[in-house]
Structure 1
Amino acid sequence: MQSLDKISYVQPPNWKELHHELMKANGANIDELTNLRQDIHKHAEGQYEEVRTSALIVEQLKKYGLDESSIRRVAVTGLEVSIQGSKAVSENDREGPKMIAIRADMDALKMPENNKEIPYHTITEWAHMCGHDGHVAILLAAAEVLIKSRDRIPENKTVKLFFQPAEEGGAGAKRMVNDGVLEGVEEVYGLHNSPLCPAGEIRVKSGTMMAGACGVKITVNGKGGHGFMPENVNDCVSAACYIHTELHTIKSRMIASSENFVLTICTINGGTAMNVFADSCVMTGTIRSFTPQVMDAVRAKVVQIAENTAKSFGCIAEVQFQGDDTTALPVINTEIETNHVIRLGKQIFGEDKVSDKGLPIAGSEDFSFFLQERPGCFFGLGMAEATKFNRMNHTSDYDFNDSIIASGGLFWVRLVEDRLNTQIIQ
């Protein structure tokens, strides 16, 4: 018999329909989950406020036949879901890991949505402009199949599903880790939709996959006054503008060109009237790097530039960095677990549909907190099509591609089959 590793897999043109029908045949109602995804999108909730979203997930899990005793509430609004097999243990079932975990994040972003034409446009102050609503639907698709197939999973093996709050800067993953969700878990996996990657493809690599991130807030305090008397003020807005300009010299003049990082200031707020000098001006932004050493060096330069530039205007700059307890670490995939994802990705999507093109990226993910504790892999699931679903995450006209719900769910089920050494898909 030819080894699966030696077979060349080719993606059929109707792969979406095949994945949809395969999941449907094994118990997943993809149409229902598409509607659920759009409902979550419409009623978007932010970090640690995912009360309605969490309740909908619990309702679905119970509908699939999971007892509430298998659901533990963690990290304020998060869920730790345990699906234990019920099949009698054979000799072969004693091999491999006994417990793996798969994670989906639930939170939305506090930003406007510019998708007025879609019927599920958000009605809250939050918006699912990163696709976490889709991640929930994907994991629920897998959950429906797994729960209905517990009799095919050995009773000595368990799949944990993490529905995580507060990925967008709230360190929900770390809070879940602190709440003990990784107890017994031997491997942990996660995915993120990728508008940079065509639907039906996967982007993944071993080692550093994504950057670490740290938020920065610079408050420039000056002395305000009337707009017609600039000689009597210490102009904090001008100081902030100069600080913003000087910060870009860190990249070009202060850190070795071989060290890749991103420093971005995304907000500057100062003043309330057109003819009044402000007393203070606040800037916020983000730093992304692939090593702690570069992160520390950039942070030191930010402080130096902000304080010295503000001083030249007669102002005082106060620099605050996001606390170490919420700063996302670089996402570093372990080699063995990444190879599992690559192998399965090729089987499901096609030999030429799995690559490390464009990696690593300077985006960040608090999934890194899970990988700091356990071996595992985080990967990108493509969703872009020729003329749609190619708007980048965190843009106001982003939308999730519902056609990948079945494929993502199928991948998770195949991963469970592979890692727990069982057969679920019939």
Structure 2
Amino acid sequence: MKEIINYINNIEDKIISYRRDFHRYPELGWTEFRTASIIAKRLLELGFEVKYGKEIFSEADRMGVPSAGILDSNYYRALKQGAPEEFMEQLKGGYTGVLGVLNLGEGPTVAMRFDIDAIGVSESTKENHLPFSLSFNSSNDGIMHSCGHDGHAAIGLGVAHTLANFRDRFKGLGTIKLIFQPAEEGVRGAKSMVKAGILDDVDYVLGNHIMADEENGTLICGTNGFMATSKLDVSFKGLPAHAGAAPNEGRNALLAACSAVLNLNSIPRHKDGASRINVGTLMSGSGRNVIPEEASMKLETRGQTTEINEYVKTYAERIIKHAAEMHEATYSISYSGEALVGNSSPGLIKRLARIGDSLGDFNCLIEESNKSIGSEDFTYMMDRVQKNGGQGIFFILGASLDKSQALGHHTSNFDIDEKVLVKSAKLFTLLTLDIEKNCRE
């Protein structure tokens, strides 16, 4: 164990360099062409069996995929920014996930998930923003790694290097899968990978998040505060008319949308737990004297349980339908993201707490937290493994950089203490080895 810890400590600069490279070239969900191709190349060089592109996705279950034009423009941008060409063809169409498999003999199958997508945020250019001052800030306008997924991808490669380096020593331990997932933002990517079957043979699945708003040195071993969620894109279609000369001849799509918004926020809350609904965008109209022909809005529902979220979603669908009918408009609903509730397995929580305590890297160790942290589509992976009789865990590492700065996630000045990357790589590697070792015994 000590030798493994020393090895990970010694590759810290390599892990940080991966993080900074990914940070400089951020890519939104389903457009992570450069990121995925670099990961695939590195895993292949390290001796992993590598699968990527369509073979690890269920096409019918991909959600919120950009238009063909957006996918193409990002594809060619990735090539210009150094994406390895030999891997790019299979990623076309936005199939930007990678699976690395290391077969070490008979034993359980352990999967680790690392999300890799960025956010639609313009990065700070202030001198006190470390990525800018050290010249690894975003090169892609309006896109930024402002949630830490650049760090997650780097952690995954750090784990890959470690496993490859000690491969001969670990023979007979079982099978290890490293899942590099696209489109976590908007909870769009995990479901299609699960439906493709890549977790059907997995006995243990591990996931984590580094958090800039948690104090550095904090380890939360098991997180249970996920809310089930659904992301809805709604379009209303009416009939335009002159607002002064013939308003009665129009069918006002904006009125239908506004009626829906007001009533969506009036959905009764559920007796069995917390629920949420939010209309985040509403767009309509072409001029002050034209009856609006079209309107579109993006909204989300959340629930403390899957059943509560389903209640809110069904109620919302009914409101949208009747709002359209009231103003003689038509409507359509598409789903651009979904996630489930999830609870970490107690046995894995205990194991991780013991490992975390032994490392001496953490001054605040919390075994379990039920605090609400929004939604996370890793829950699809955890749900599949647990329903098949396995175990899953999602742990959090504090990565605050400077208490004097507001480094909230999804903000322009988001940043992390890069020391957390090595800590996370140690936890993934040592927990995996602990699982394999105990299963042999």
TM-score, scaled relative to structure 1? 0.79
**Equivalent residue for 1:166, pick from 183, 196, 202:** 183
- Structure with higher RCO (Cα < 8 A, 6+ apart): 1
CA deviation map 1:133-159 (0-9, x unaligned): 110111212222221112321334232
**Equivalent residue for 2:339, pick from 325, 328, 347:** 328
Unaligned stretches of 5+ in structure 1? 1-18, 87-93
SS of 1:58's equivalent in the other structure is: helix
Provide the alpha-carbon RMSD of the alignment.
3.1
TM-superposed CA distance for 1:308, in Å, is: 3.5
Q: Could you say which residue in structure 1 is the equivalent of 2:51?
A: 72
Q: Could you say which residue in structure 2 is the equivalent of 1:177?
A: 194
Alignment of 1:343-382 (within 5 A): 343-348=354-359, 349-350=361-362, 352-357=364-369, 359-361=371-373, 363-374=374-385, 375-382=391-398
C-alpha distance in 2 between matches for 1:56 and 1:136: 11
Q: Percent identity?
A: 25
TM-superposed CA distance for 1:270, in Å, is: 0.6
Contact 1:27 1:148 in 2 (8 A): no
CA deviation map 1:275-329 (0-9, x unaligned): 43321111111111132321222122213333344444x2436252527xx5222
Unaligned stretches of 5+ in structure 2? 58-94, 127-131, 386-390
Q: Does 1:107 align with 2:117?
A: yes
C-alpha distance in 2 between matches for 1:36 and 1:126: 18
Q: Does 1:150 align with 2:159?
A: no
C-alpha distance in 2 between matches for 1:400 and 1:416: 25
Q: Could you say which residue in structure 1 is the equivalent of 2:253?
A: 236
C-alpha distance in 1 between matches for 2:235 and 2:329: 8
CA deviation map 1:37-93 (0-9, x unaligned): 122122222333322112222343355xx225x22223333222223448xxxxxxx
Q: Does 1:265 align with 2:279?
A: yes
For residues 293 and 177 of structure 1, do their structure 2 counterparts lie closer, same or farther at Cα, with a shift above 3 Å needed? closer
Matched residues, number: 382
SS of 1:143's equivalent in the other structure is: helix
For residues 85 and 389 of structure 1, do their structure 2 counterparts lie closer, same or farther at Cα, with a shift above 3 Å needed? farther
For residues 103 and 256 of structure 1, do their structure 2 counterparts lie closer, same or farther at Cα, with a shift above 3 Å needed? closer
**Equivalent residue for 2:31, pick from 49, 52, 55:** 49
CA deviation map 1:4-51 (0-9, x unaligned): xxxxxxxxxxxxxxx9x9856447522232222122122222333322
Alignment of 1:8-27 (within 5 A): 25-26=7-8
SS of 1:297's equivalent in the other structure is: helix
For residues 388 and 53 of structure 1, do their structure 2 counterparts lie closer, same or farther at Cα, with a shift above 3 Å needed? farther
TM-superposed CA distance for 1:353, in Å, is: 2.2
Q: Does 1:201 align with 2:218?
A: yes
TM-superposed CA distance for 1:170, in Å, is: 6.5
For residues 44 and 365 of structure 1, do their structure 2 counterparts lie closer, same or farther at Cα, with a shift above 3 Å needed? same
Q: Does 1:132 align with 2:144?
A: no
Q: Could you say which residue in structure 2 is the equivalent of 1:8?
A: none
Greater CA drift, 374-383 or 174-183: 174-183
Q: Could you say which residue in structure 2 is the equivalent of 1:12?
A: none
Contact 2:256 2:329 in 1 (8 A): no
TM-superposed CA distance for 1:372, in Å, is: 2.0
C-alpha distance in 1 between matches for 2:328 and 2:404: 48
TM-score, scaled relative to structure 2? 0.76
Contact 1:203 1:357 in 2 (8 A): yes
One-letter code aligned to 1:114? E
SS of 2:339's equivalent in the other structure is: coil
